[in-house]
Chains A and B, each alone.
Chain A
Amino acid sequence: MTLLSRFRSWLRAIVRRSRMESEMDTELRFHIEAFAEDLVRSGVPREEALWRARIEFGGVERAKEECRDARGANFLESLIQDLRFGLRMLRKNPGFTSVAVLTLALGIAVNTAVFTAFDALVLRPRPVKDPDSLVAVFRTTPGDARGRFSYPDYVYLRDHSKSFSDLSLFAFGMALTSSDLPPTGPEAISRLAGTVGFQLPQLLPGGAQPIGCYFVSGNYFQMLGAVPLHGRLLLPEDDLLSSPPVAVLSGNFWQRQFHSDPKVVGSILHLNGVAFTIIGVTPVDYMGTLPNVPSLWAPVAGKVQVGGLSAGDLENRLLIAGMPMGRLRHGVSLSDAQAELDVLAAQLRTAHPEDERNAGIALLPGRNDAAVLEPTEWALVAAAMSAVGLLLLIACANVASLLLARAAVRGKETAVRLAIGASRGRLLRQLLTESVLIALFAGAFGLPLAGWLLHLLIVEIASALPSAWGTIALKVSPDIRIFLYALLVSGCAGVAFGLAPALQASKPNVNSALKDESTAFGVRLSRSRLRGALIAGQMAACLVLLISSALLLRGSQRALTLDVGYEPQRVLYLEMYSPANLHYPQARMLQINRDLIHGIAGLPSVRSVAQASRGPIGGIRWVPVAPVDAAASGSTAQGNQTTGAGYSYVTSNYFDTLGIPILRGRVFTPSEAEGQAPVVVISEATARRFWPDEDAIGKRLKIGLEKGTMFFPGQKDPFVPSSEVIGIARDVRSMDLRRIDESYIYLPLSLTRQWTGTLLVRTDGDPRQLLPATGREVHAIDANLPVVGSPLYSMISMDPFFVVSRVGGLLASIVGALGLLLACMGVYGMVSYTVAQRTHEIGIRMALGAHGGQILQLVVREGFRPILGGIVVGILLSAGVSRLMAATLFGLSSLDVVSFFGVSVLLGGIALVATVLPARRATRVDPMVALRYE
């Protein structure tokens, strides 16, 4: 009842505003006039009565205002008033407004973009049925907590575990489509990718195109509850070696290559020359459990059918087949399942002690990729988040110091408003409204800016990836959550940076402010101290970002100067997709290979063409190696001399082509290579390892095992019972850029017996220039042969360590540069404000005989003090940060004097300029004008 009536009265007050105003007017007038009449009656002269009545009544306007407040009519009214006034104030100071809004918008946009990208990549649950009951299954061995499984192990778990309603397996793969499909065109190198030096090997024009396939177990789609767009999806019965080969197209590949033709279901697609029946199409952007969309999905059996695996590989416990993911049965907890799988892992260890020794099983939640990220990856994510968070902090501090300076300038206005009866709360609300307005504008700008940044980022990354790798299908359209996030950030920032200055501004003593006392000597200490702290904080944050970026960039620079032990500058690396997939007979393959070497060697500017089963970078091959002569090992205490060594079959000109010096002995002769004589060239480190105090030349090595284990599909391990060491090559860093190879051996390659896919071409010029001519050569020899090529140096700089440093360094320097810009604006603003505020004081000093230089020194010294403080704090913080980074990233030195000193001096210099420019205004103060100013 009363609530209702209250609401009605409020509504009346709002709706019938003008009527209420006039009634209020009448009522108060009646009061004063009736009072006056009573006064007249009591003998006061008529002309004096009205005047006295007014005086006695007090402030009519104030009473009215309180009446409006009592009705609640004022809430909306004063809000609108505040907004209108706030907008007017913002419009009146376009410089301040645009700087504040843009500063915040930038901070918000970068934060929103990074938050969104992180969410989309890591946090968002997989877009499948009930993602919470999915579990990622890893095989753990000492040193590898995220291992994948062999096919027989997977089958054992699938058939014996009771915890899962389904346990599926997926594996990445690549297959060649025949050239009857239209090619997707050359891969464009995106601008962003180019900037960070991210250049993937390019597919040379012509030839069949490799497409990305995901090979999944037959129950995969059932487990995920996937629904096809056309046709049907894979079933367990498709995943048998005896079943006819079938494939499911991804919606994206279907759109791109088949122009969304639904009739494609039932037709034939050739993969590696094998006819696959297309049975269905997944929805566009359907990713399953993976981070990107492949071109097509095929059963694991299909991987055998295309020749990616041999039938025997599916029985091999040492051959990694893929990563399992399961769905927990209803009511089974993750720890229940873990307990059961621990038992199964123990059973496997007992049944296969040779292969499963030390192997365990770890389950992790599979709802998103967050659980799968490793600590180092989390550290990088946290670093990126902190960097952008720091940017928002700088932006807020900057706007706060701007507002603080402005609040001081507006001290007089505030005092006037307080003097004519505005309450402190009302004033606070007004100032807060202005801050929130700025924040809202910033949010309004920041949101589209964030969308644009994200789009740029993702489109650029997507265009940097070869289409064979699949499609990145991240949703980058700003959804409601992102919008709310931006709004929340901007709102909190608005209130946070608005409150401090508002509190300060509403504090001044009315009298002193009206007398403009703040321009005299007594500069309010607390305010300048707060501003100084803000400036120092910004400087410190900038310095941390900039020093980090300098360290990262200098670290990635090392990719170019790193002594890898060979000369990568003028070497082109070419890799053929195995023509075994094309089902060519061996003789034809070898002929193509020899034609190719001959053809490329004939190109102008080519010095030599070497071939290797493995180049100096890329996938690693291991083989067990032991000295043959037992007596030779007598000098070392180790009982078991067998050790794993990296190996490569190479042609005899390999060492010349790469510039690897032969320190002792010789390389194979062409006839030794052709005949695959039992001779071997070993690295220095290998020689030291087996024969530390002796000359290794002439010693003999046993390479490989009689019972050839196969670690890698399609690659037969070498086996030479006794091979003579004929040469020692200089050590190189080929397996891990962080250190020289511990042991590496080079075996002779026969071009008439062995096919390998890697060619190394030494040129006189830039190897990149050689790519088109090489492509034409490949095309002329076999149009179906896909070859990718890349300069060797860019492959080194593609090493993940360097890529992380480079991308991180680039991001940190962008963020740091933005922060520096903001901080300098803050410094500039603060110093110009101080000068304006102290005009009077400076005038007096000059009148008393101070000259310009002294004044400049005074102002600069005071302005520079917080900057110096910030730099000191920043250096200390950076020392901690860089130590953390150096621990996780290769090529960084944690105390790099150039980075620390250079960046600090640069930052200090820029800040000094930002101080001196406005400070010079102080020297132009005319003492007479300044003193007369009051």
Chain B
Amino acid sequence: MDKQLDVLQGTLDMLILKAVSLGPLHGYGILLRIQQISKDRLEIQQGSLYPALYRLEHQGWITSEWGESENNRKAKYYRLTAAGKRRLQSEAEKWNRMAEVIAGILHTTPEEV
């Protein structure tokens, strides 16, 4: 699995929510965190990250505040809200169900039909 996968349509939001659920992060940090926990197997278009962040904040699932970065620079940190937590949960459940179904379909052998 050396080839990087593009993030599936619609899953970026879920990944962001997951990333910030582990602790407040700035935008670049979120990118790094996703790459890190996916063991660099996911490729995220950097330009599309921020619109997604703004959208999630607009929907009230994350909030932001200004803070200091590791190298003492001003950075905007995102944090999961209670609503965001619920949202992440339901998204994750939905994803798992979906993955199960798809996997089931793909594993079907001719004898089972």
Contacts and interface: CB of A to CB of B under 8 A. Distances in A.
A63 B52 CA distance: 10
Contact of A35 (B28, B52, B53, B71): B28
Interface stretch (A53-61, A95-103, A463-471): A53-61
Contacts of A27: 26-27, 50, 75-76
Interface string A11-28: 000000000000110111
Contacts of B45: 58
A16 to B, nearest CB: 14
A58 B47 contact: yes
B28 A30 contact: yes
A446 to B, nearest CB: 41
Interface in B75-113: 75-76, 83
Contacts of B51: 63, 66-67, 69-70
A33 B58 CA distance: 26
A10 B59 CA distance: 10
B74 interface: yes
B76 A56 contact: no
Contacts of B74: 26, 30
A156 B50 CA distance: 87
Interface stretch (A1-9, A244-252, A856-864): A1-9
A2 B73 CA distance: 31
Contact of B55 (A56, A64, A70): A70
Interface in B52-76: 52-55, 57-60, 69, 71, 73-76
A56 B46 contact: yes
A883 interface: no
Given A1-B83, A34-B28, A34-B69, A28 B59 contact: no
Contacts of A64: 50
A5 B26 contact: no
B47 to A, nearest CB: 3
Interface SS majority for chain A:
helix
A31 interface: yes
Contacts of A10: 58
Contacts of B28: 30-31, 34-35
A62 interface: yes
Contacts of A59: 47
A31 B83 CA distance: 27
A61 to B, nearest CB: 10
A590 to B, nearest CB: 99
B5 to A, nearest CB: 17
Specify which of A30, A57, A59 lies most central, judged by the most chain B CB atoms within 10 Å of its CB: A30
Contact of A71 (B48, B54, B73, B75): B54
Contacts of B73: 30, 33-34
Contact of B26 (A30, A57, A71): A30
Contacts of B60: 1-2, 5-6, 9
Contact of B58 (A1, A37, A58, A70): A70
B80 to A, nearest CB: 14
Interface residues of A, number: 31
A72 interface: yes
Contacts of B69: 30, 34
Given A1-B60, A30-B69, A31-B27, A67 B50 contact: yes
A58 B46 contact: yes
Interface in B28-54: 28, 31, 45-48, 50-54
Given A2-B83, A69-B51, A70-B51, A31 B46 contact: yes
Given A35-B28, A58-B47, A30 B75 contact: yes
A9 B57 contact: yes
Contact of B76 (A5, A23, A35): A23
B34 to A, nearest CB: 14
Contacts of A30: 26-28, 69, 73-76
A683 to B, nearest CB: 92
Specify which of A1, A6, A67 lies most central, judged by the most chain B CB atoms within 10 Å of its CB: A67
B17 to A, nearest CB: 14
A33 B26 CA distance: 13
B19 to A, nearest CB: 15
A922 B28 CA distance: 61
B47 A6 contact: no
Given A1-B83, A34-B28, A34-B69, A9 B50 contact: no
A23 B27 CA distance: 13
Contacts of B52: 70
B54 A28 contact: no
Nearest to A34: B28
Nearest to B58: A9
A10 B58 CA distance: 7
A60 B26 CA distance: 17
A64 B47 CA distance: 9
A6 B27 contact: no
Specify which of B31, B50, B58, B71 lies most central, judged by the most chain A CB atoms within 10 Å of its CB: B58
Contacts of A57: 46-47
Nearest to B74: A26
B47 A71 contact: no
A69 B46 CA distance: 17
A711 B89 CA distance: 95
Nearest to A56: B46
B16 to A, nearest CB: 13
A109 B75 CA distance: 60
B82 to A, nearest CB: 10
Contacts of A69: 51
A71 B27 contact: no
B47 A62 contact: yes
A515 B47 CA distance: 30
Nearest to B61: A2
Nearest to B46: A57
A149 to B, nearest CB: 74
A384 to B, nearest CB: 55
8 contacts: A6-B59, A9-B60, A24-B50, A26-B74, A27-B50, A30-B69, A57-B46, A57-B47
For the complex of A and B, the 8 pairs showing the least CB-CB separation, nearest first, are: A58-B47, A66-B51, A70-B54, A70-B55, A5-B60, A67-B54, A63-B47, A2-B60
Given A1-B60, A66-B50, A70-B58, 14 more contacts: A2-B83, A27-B26, A30-B69, A31-B46, A33-B73, A56-B46, A57-B47, A58-B45, A60-B47, A62-B47, A63-B51, A67-B51, A69-B51, A71-B58
Interface of A: 1-2, 5-6, 9-10, 23-24, 26-28, 30-31, 33-35, 37, 56-60, 62-64, 66-67, 69-72
